[in-house]
Amino acid sequence: MAKYSNKLDMTFSALADPTRRAIISRLCDGPASVGELSQPFDIALPTLLKHVRVLEKCGLVSSEKAGRVRTCRIETSVLQESDEWLRQHISLWENRLDRMEHHIKNMKKDQ
Amino acid sequence: MAKYSNKLDMTFSALADPTRRAIISRLCDGPASVGELSQPFDIALPTLLKHVRVLEKCGLVSSEKAGRVRTCRIETSVLQESDEWLRQHISLWENRLDRMEHHIKNMKKDQ
DNA sequence: TAGATACTTTACCACATGGCTAAGTATTCT
DNA sequence: AGAATACTTAGCCATGTGGTAAAGTATCTA
């Protein structure tokens, strides 16, 4: 089966889950412990931890353990990489539309 | 299990697959038939069709059948919606960093 | 009209994913 | 030391996903 061929796969897949997007939203407001992250959700701690691990694996989140508390923070560089893919494709398409428009104008001119 | 709660779920999940991203890249270059789309890939036609259906369900791609040929085209509005989520979160985080910097400057001033 | 073409549908399979409980480990508090 | 806290690991389960082959359905083309 198609495993994750690259970072973009992992990142978009990570972003596809609403719980994980909520974790990211929360972390945009500042670092938080695993326990703090779990509070808004009606899911067991191991499940939340799995989500955090997924976010860590693709680099969207980093964490560090001090004593018995693990503190998580967001890493926006990976968000930016995904953003870049999207923007690039949006502009590819828009450039094509521009070229088409240009082409149509030329056709009219030639009549 | 967590079904797709909203469009963003579906869209990011659709973008998580490399074949589907390749289809989108191809369609940025102009509309294509199902057969044309399948050519670069080493997958069976039904598999490719499934991918197209996934892209259609979340609105990234639209298609139309004329005779026996189905022509697919990209719809950038949905790409833009996902892009908006990413940009929003990047800026949320950046604003927070700005506030922190500001806060630190004030602390130094007060010394 | 017979054959080729271009999808479509159906039915199946293996593996990934998100969820859980229960038990384990390391720190910190009393 | 003993109890409480804050994760962590392990193991299990149901469903979803990407893949297949084979058979079906329209449309062209000769």
Residues shown for chain B: 111
**Residue A22 domain-assigned (yes or no):** yes
Give the count of domains, chain A.
Answer: 1
Q: Does some domain include residue A53?
A: yes
Percentage of residues of chain A with pLDDT beyond 90: 71
Question: Rounded to a whole number, what is the largest CA-CA distance in chain A?
Answer: 78
**pLDDT, position B44:** 96
CATH number of the domain residue B11 falls in? 1.10.10.10
Identify whether B1 is part of a domain. Answer: no
Cβ <8 Å between A93 and B28: yes
Query: A56: buried, middle or exposed (CB in 10 Å: 19+, 13-18, 0-12)?
Result: middle
Residue nearest to nucleotide D27 (CA to C1'): B68
Distance of CA B73 to the CA centre of its chain: 14
Q: Is residue A1 part of a domain?
A: no
**Does A51 reside within a domain?**
yes
Among the ranges given (A33-37, A67-71, A75-79, B18-22), the one the predictor scored with the smallest mean pLDDT:
A75-79
pLDDT, position B54: 97
Confidence bin at A2 (pLDDT 50/70/90)? very low
- pLDDT tens sequence across B31-64: 999 999 999 999 999 999 999 999 999 999 999 9
* Domain, as residue range, for A85: 7-110
Residues of chain B whose beta carbon is less than 8 angstroms from a beta carbon of chain A are 2, 5-6, 8-10, 12-13, 15-19, 21, 24-25, 28-30, 74, 76, 79-80, 82-83, 85-87, 89-90, 92-94, 96
Contact call for B96 and A30, based on CB within 8 A:
yes
Task: Note whether B29 contacts A92, CB cutoff 8 Å.
Answer: yes
Whole-angstrom Cα distance, residue A71 to residue B27? Answer: 42
Confirm whether any atom of chain C, the nucleic acid strand, is less than 7 Å from CB of B99: no
Token code pair at residue A85: 């893919």
CA of A6 to C1' of C16 (A): 16
Domain assignment present for residue B2? The answer is no
Nearest to A74 by CA among B90, B107, B11: B90
B9 strand D contact, CB < 7 Å: no
B72-105 pLDDT per residue, tens? 999 988 899 899 999 999 998 888 888 887 777 7
* A2 is a domain residue: no
Tell me if B70 is assigned to some domain: yes
Asked if A63 CB < 7 A from strand C, the reply is: no
Three-state DSSP state, B28: coil
pLDDT of residue A15: 96
* pLDDT bucket at A95, cuts 50 / 70 / 90: confident
